[in-house]
Amino acid sequence: MGQERIRLGQDASFYNCALSADGRWVAAAALPQTFVRVWEVDHTNISHDLQCSWVSTLGFSPDGQRLATGSAYEYQVWETHSWLCKFRATRPGIAYNPRIAFSPDGRMLAVTHSCFTVRLMETVTGQELATFGMPEPQVISCLAFSPDGSQLAVGGQTPVIYLWNLRLIRQELAEMKLDWE
């Protein structure tokens, strides 16, 4: 009542969606899982249909400059100003349960590389920064960065959430001359 409602997408079924932080873009994974549709909210028209199969997770970077999509086979990162795919990162075999989380500054993307490992990637080039395994064997179910980007929370099938101190990890990597920029 008294609120503007916008209806998007009336020619396909959608099962997952994401809204950019600035409210400019809506992206939705479509059935039969062959594309992700993107709308520019102010104009309510379809902006792009991105060709990617079996997407089960998607999300915008905090600055709204990138959209990440994830499937059992790969992740793709798209630039929102051109809607070109900047990079693809394949997953080993069929690794179900794709999860994504952008760092607060949008420069890093955490993804489940396999069901049991997390990979940190640079969002412009897709360069791998680090890969971490779960301390105990369990399928990863959620990822989240702390507001300052210094910690990564990783949850699995047990009632335990692991907090990985990325600053400490980077210090240890720097001592081995393996730190990222």
pLDDT one-digit tens code per residue, 21-34: 999 999 988 876 77
pLDDT one-digit tens code per residue, 98-153: 999 999 999 999 999 988 999 999 999 999 988 988 888 888 999 999 999 999 99
Domain-located, residue 180: no
User: Which residue segment(s) compose the domain that 122 sits in?
Assistant: 13-175
Distance CA 100, CA 120 (A): 10
Domain-located, residue 3: no
SS3 for 174?
helix
pTM: 0.88
CATH (domain of 118): 2.130.10.10
Reported in sequence order, the residue ranges of 123-160 that DSSP labels E, i.e. its strands, are 128-133, 142-145, 151-155
**Number of domains, the chain:** 1
